Structure 1
Amino acid sequence: MARYSSDFPIFAVAADIVVLTIRADALCVLLIRRSGSVAHGEWALPGGFVRADEDLEAAAYRELSEEAGISRDDVVLEQLRTYGTPGRDPRPERVVSVAWVALGASLPDPRPDTDADRAEWVPVEEALGRSLAFDHTQILADGVERARSKLEYTTLATAFCGPTFTLPELRRVYVAVWGGEEGLDPRNFQRKVLGAEGFVAETGEIVRGRGRPAKVYRAGGERGLHPPIMRRGLDPN
């Protein structure tokens, strides 16, 4: 039989999720206001404890469903990192959190669950300025940076789009996530996107509006982005 001591305490494992979407052309994160006894009234990321018979990823998807009404088909879920600094949670047991980033397009208005009395989408810059419960400000900052960096080297930007989209709509994803238009000249951006094999695929449809007709695309089959699209300006070549 295993023995436990103060040197080897029993751990509780939590799943905390940085849920990101774009609303009104701004990158937003889902925050909840806690109503439980721990960190009561404080704003935090959605999450909760992993059940004894539950896989880590399954716990993250369950929390998304319970706290935000978001299904696994609504988002791209990626593990961020593990947070386990002693004292990060005021509970008597040591709490280690496996954090996740969930990205989705047009995610629904959130609904609070039994552990929260409010839930809302908040622009990330505003959320980063708040004092969040536990170490959630750090988790949020890490999650936002992960999303921003992934847009450089992967096709993850399409996760913020619907099933089909135009290149101007895809460009607005980059502007929203990166927080500005530096280096995102429309013509150069279009050349970069179309020159990256497997990034997007034509649907054969065209959208007609006030300006020039725009081709409609869907996500391509590749996950990596070659050549990359860098935040500090597009390569002029």
Structure 2
Amino acid sequence: MLRKKYIKERCIACYAISAIFILSYLLITSRNNFENELFLIDFFQKNSWAAIILSAMVAITAAYVTIRTNRQLAREKNALDFEQKYKENPKITEHMRLLGSTFKIKNSLEIKEMSSKKYEECSEEEKKFWEASAYVLNEWERAANAVNHDIYDEHLLYKAYGTSVLKLYMNLSEYIAARQKDSVRYYINFLMLVAKWQIRRGRENRCNEAIIRKITIEKNKLKLALDEMSNELELK
């Protein structure tokens, strides 16, 4: 996936360089003819190759913008459809409620112990925890796979479920680690998505901290200014 994005970015860069080169050539070769209103027409008549290349570049640009816009709209629609189905899925609601109550009454060591057991060795309560964890994580594994392949819009899902997904990973990290002992491929897309969202959340937190510091400094300055004004009024 990263290789495809890299190749696409290189192609766009080459396309932009070609456009700049052609426009520069036009300006240089016609710099003495700017007073002539028809200098471009004369140039293209004498250099038909430039007209062909320029028209092709315009057509490619229009097609690229249209395709890119349509793909973005499709990604956003798919993400919104997933969000609606996720909210309306009764099994998700049931399993998330069970997991929430489990996280409240069980500590991390107890969850780790439950996660490390084989399914056949679990009690009925532990089997319900297993089934709920597997169902919710499988749902997000499919969503993460769609995000990683540009089928779902990542920004929309992050805004809607960023906190929930990061919290889900924090609570079920021991369960995921236990499942990956059987196969390291388990929940690999989900973990990739979590890693990206953790980095994004860290950047947002640092940005928010900087904003809060700036607001605090401005607030202190305003307070000092008000104190000085009140002192001056008292002296008067």
Q: What is the TM-score normalised by the length of structure 1? A: 0.22
- Please tell me whether Structure 1 or Structure 2 has the larger radius of gyration of its CA atoms: 2
Q: What is the TM-score normalised by the length of structure 2? A: 0.22
Q: Which has the higher strand share?
A: 1
